[in-house]
Amino acid sequence: MGTVPFSSEREGNPSVVDAVEQPPQRPDEQLVREVAAVPVQATLLREALIDWAVTHDLPHDLIVDVELAVYEALANAVTHAYPDGTDGTMTLTTRLTPATLTVTVADSGAWRDGNSSPYGGRGLTLIRALAHEATVSTAPTGTTITMTWSRQA
């Protein structure tokens, strides 16, 4: 996979890089990525998460659930955190213990109330159905969705 060229959504924010441009980490480290809250970056983060999960020998069924739930959380950050074309970032963090996998998706935006589309509004319901535990924390500094899965069969 090659790197994605810099996009206009990121101009003027040198601390934000493409998901694939960030330096590789040792396999036992957490996956932590902060990227521009734009659709292409959500897709790249999803791919980085899958690669990380496979590297850690997580079961296929768990990876499928994690992939879908986390992508929904990323899509929510893109869609809801930065209204009216405001630029912002989203951060994906994983934490793996012998018993659990925890993934957080955080933004520093302000979510809009209600559905932004008549076809939306099911993301958080899906996240809660897929994760063994899911919480949404909102504050003036942003929103964090924390999803946890048991690694026990």
Give per-residue pLDDT as tens, 53-72. 999 999 999 999 999 999 99
Q: Could you tell me the domains of the chain? A: 36-150 (3.30.565.10)
Residues β-bridged to residue 35 = 90
95-112: burial string, b at 16+ Cβ within 10 Å, e else: ebeeeebbbbbbbbbbbe
| Residue owning tokens 């998706």 | 105
The secondary element (H helix, E strand) that includes residue 68 is helix 60-76
> Could you tell me the pLDDT band of residue 1, with boundaries at 50, 70 and 90?
very low
* Alpha-carbon torsion, ordered 17, 134, 39, 87, to 10 deg: -60
* Residue 89 reports pLDDT greater than 90: yes
Q: What is the pLDDT of residues 92-140, one digit of tens each?
A: 999 999 999 999 999 999 876 555 555 567 889 999 999 999 999 999 9
pLDDT value at position 7? Answer: 36
Residues β-bridged to residue 140 = none
State if pTM tops 0.75: yes
Residues β-bridged to residue 100 = 150
Instruction: At 43, list the tokens.
Output: 């897709």
Least confident of 3-7, 28-32, 89-93: 3-7
pLDDT value at position 143? Answer: 95
